[in-house]
Amino acid sequence: MVSHEKALLRLLEGNERFRAQQPLLPEELSQFVAGQAPIAAVLSCSDSRVPPELIFNQSLGSLFIVRVAGNIAGESQIGSLEFAVKNLGCNLIVVLGHTHCGAIKAALSNDDSAVPPLMQSILSVIRSGISKTNDNVVATKENVVHTQQRIRTESSAIQNALDAKGIAVVGGLYDIETGKVDFFNP
């Protein structure tokens, strides 16, 4: 089991390697037959430009990833994170937003005429957690913080683990232009 401090350090180091384009060699597949012990759980946007394994330069078995447009925390997402904490021993949860996020852009738009109902439900969750801003980055950060809050308030299992000081839920922003991750809300 990896502490949340060491797990976050490994992600930061991985992001540095990713930026320097020096990927690690892939690990042997056979070690994963017995199970998995990911160092972190990542709740990130579905955006194709933001694959957590690549941007943190992590290999097979390292990250337990939950992806949904706008990196919101609905029941399925939080339940998945509970599994990572309770069953897999993850001590670090990362909520990762990103610049130029289409879901945030749609949430900031006043025109929902072409938005299907289920997509609308994602925008509603995002809107419930952001201020009246037109700044995409500001809204993206607010949405990350809101997701962190929802994880804590909706999951007693995760809140209990936080109270025991064994785990951390950190918020990050991935910059699509530079490839850099900024953990702005530890």
Contacts with Zn ion, residue ranges (CB under 5 A): 45, 47, 101, 103
Phi, psi of 98 (to 5 degrees): -150, 155
Q: Minimal distance in Å, beta carbon 69 to Zn ion?
A: 6
Distance CA 72, CA 45 (A): 8
- The one-letter amino acid code at 48 reads S
Q: Which is nearer to Zn ion, 4 or 98 (CB)?
A: 98
Q: Which is nearer to Zn ion, 47 or 142 (CB)?
A: 47
Q: Which is nearer to Zn ion, 39 or 63 (CB)?
A: 63
Taking the CB of residue 53, how many other CB atoms lie within 10 A of it? Answer: 15
Q: Minimal distance in Å, beta carbon 108 to Zn ion?
A: 12
Distance CA 123, CA 131 (A): 14
Q: Which is nearer to Zn ion, 47 or 82 (CB)?
A: 47
Taking the CB of residue 29, how many other CB atoms lie within 10 A of it? Answer: 9
Give SS3 for 13. helix
Q: Minimal distance in Å, beta carbon 105 to Zn ion?
A: 9
In terms of DSSP H, where are the helices of the chain? 4-20, 52-55, 75-86, 102-108, 117-127, 136-154, 156-163
Q: Minimal distance in Å, beta carbon 23 to Zn ion?
A: 24
Name the residue among 8, 180, 179 with its Cα closest to residue 92: 8
Q: Minimal distance in Å, beta carbon 180 to Zn ion?
A: 16
Q: Which is nearer to Zn ion, 32 or 184 (CB)?
A: 184
